[in-house]
Amino acid sequence: MVLLGATGFTGALTAEYLLENNPGGAKIALAGRNLEKLGALKDRLGADVPLLKADVTDASSLRDLAESTKAVATTVGPYINYGEPLVAACSAAGTDYLDLTGEPEFVDLMYVRHHATAVKNGARLVHCCGFDSIPHDLGAQFTVEQLPEHVPIKVEGFVRAGGRFSGGTAHSAITAFSRFRQWRQVAGERKRMEERPSGRKVSGVKGAPHREADLGWVLPMPTIDPQIVLRSGRALARYGPEFSYGHFMVPGGLPAAAAVTAGVGLVGVASQIPPARNFLLGRIDPGDGPTEAQRAKGWFKVRFHGEAGGEKVVTEVAGGDPGYGETAKMLAESALCIASDELPQTAGQVTTAQAMGEALRGRLDARGITFGVLSS
């Protein structure tokens, strides 16, 4: 498999993880647009690993890359700006593709433009292989699997996390906020094209701020994560004849809830106004990110409440620094999993639960991202 974007902040962490945690001996290469920078990374990591030059503005370099390997994982974002050429190259070559996007517009656009070609050529396009959306997608699937089969299932996810952003993530988030209208349009196009499961109902729960007995105040969290969970629910019959999912954040008290709402609102509005958006983007450098000491303090816990056929279950997915340490691990394990493990036959744009499910969960659990039942 090949890692593209290895010289970036998250890319370098992913490269380091891959080279240190590859017990199966998968053949790995690192790719980027700058061979000198890649060489410096290789020296720093002290690894004997092939380096490949590939630039997302050079379609022939991506074609060569996609035709030379089984799977490509990319950290070159914002994906709406840089992602499509590699999705196109992998779809055409029948090569598996994985990324770290959390940008709904990009994911929907790639479905509209490349899903059919990927299905025809047997390529799996797996977006959102980082904190967006693996703990939520695999955690919801784990919760469903604790509940009875063939009955309606209701799951709610509650996210708690502590950590810092990198420059690349901040640029991607601000870009995504600024393109809300474009996303609505492409989401509509996708909805018109995409087949719905027949005889089964899958629905999202918008929800409202409220108190949960075990967690305190929670706020609806309309990120890409619930969209991904619902896609898994549509693709997999195990989620039952009727599946509903609601996604919330746990801000840690009412004042924090008000501050989060105001902060997100402010960045959302500023992102729509070009001078304010440029001011925000100018304050953060892509390539920057939290230090090792800051990352070591990061943590996340996603709790799930599940209900079906009169039974209830509470589960939790937990790990360390959500943004980078664990995201690098999640992308690396996803890439190793898709390149080496026995998996269900899938093709086209697929979720992590659909493409890798239990195999990926086992890999992550073995590496400290735990999936557990708290009560049933």
Ligand X SMILES: NC(=O)c1ccc[n+]([C@@H]2O[C@H](COP(=O)([O-])OP(=O)(O)OC[C@H]3O[C@@H](n4cnc5c(N)ncnc54)[C@H](OP(=O)(O)O)[C@@H]3O)[C@@H](O)[C@H]2O)c1
- Site residues for ligand X per CB under 6 A: 5, 7-11, 32-34, 37, 55-57, 75-79, 82, 100, 102, 130-132, 166-169, 172, 286-287, 289, 323-324, 327
- 38 or 236, CB closer to ligand X? 38
- 98 or 153, CB closer to ligand X? 98
- 171 or 305, CB closer to ligand X? 171
Q: How far is the CB of 261 from ligand X (least distance, A)?
A: 22
- 57 or 345, CB closer to ligand X? 57
- 214 or 288, CB closer to ligand X? 288
- Cβ pair 232, 202 in contact under 8 A: no
Q: Distances from the Cα of 13 to the Cαs of 181, 246, 292, in angstroms?
A: 33, 32, 11
- 55 or 316, CB closer to ligand X? 55
Q: How far is the CB of 360 from ligand X (least distance, A)?
A: 15
Measured over the CA atoms of residue 43, residue 45, residue 51 and residue 54, the dihedral's sign is negative
Q: How far is the CB of 211 from ligand X (least distance, A)?
A: 28
Question: Tokens 């994911």 belong to which residue?
Answer: 107
Provide long-range contacts, Cβ within 8 A and 24+ apart, for 207-216.
Answer: 207/156, 207/246, 207/247, 207/248, 209/257, 212/158, 212/250, 212/305, 214/303, 214/314, 215/158, 215/160, 215/250, 215/303, 216/250, 216/252, 216/253
> 300, 157, 302: which is closest to 233 by C-alpha?
157
- 34 or 185, CB closer to ligand X? 34
Sequence-ordered strand ranges (E) for 90-129:
96-99, 124-126
Sequence-ordered strand ranges (E) for 235-344:
242-249, 299-308, 311-320
Per DSSP, the residues of 310-326 read TEEEEEEEEEE-TTTHH
In the bound complex, which residue of the shown chain has the CB atom lying closest to ligand X?
77
Residues 307/312/317/322 CA torsion (nearest 10 deg): 50
Q: What CA–CA distance (Å, rounded) separates 361 from 353?
A: 9
Q: How far is the CB of 76 from ligand X (least distance, A)?
A: 4
Q: How far is the CB of 375 from ligand X (least distance, A)?
A: 28
Q: How far is the CB of 152 from ligand X (least distance, A)?
A: 31
Q: How far is the CB of 34 from ligand X (least distance, A)?
A: 4
